[in-house]
Amino acid sequence: MTPDAATRQQIEGYRRMTGEQRLAIALGLHELACEMAREGIRDRHPEADAAEVERLLRQRLQPARHP
């Protein structure tokens, strides 16, 4: 299967899903991205406790909210 064919097949699969199913995928991807960011923060700030990691994550996400 070519990459273009795979993309078309994936899009068709998304079109068959309900809005709730697509939202669940999007929220899962968001949480995965946040967890990856948390791991990066923990690597750069090993002394940070959980609250500090969350503060730094919110700070990192802030530019995305206000361009």
Higher per-residue pLDDT: 65 or 13: 13
CA angle 38, 29, 41 (to 5 degrees): 10
- What Å distances lie between residue 52 and 35, 49, 57, 66, CA to CA? 14, 5, 8, 22
How far the first Cα of the chain sits from its last, in Å, is: 39
For residue 17, the 8-state DSSP code is S
pLDDT tens digits along 30-47: 999 999 999 999 999 999
Q: Please tell me the least confidently modeled range out of 23-27, 28-32, 63-67.
A: 63-67
Higher per-residue pLDDT: 67 or 57: 57
At 35 the pLDDT is: 98
pLDDT tens digits along 3-17: 999 999 999 999 999
Which helix (H) or strand (E) element contains residue 67?
A: none
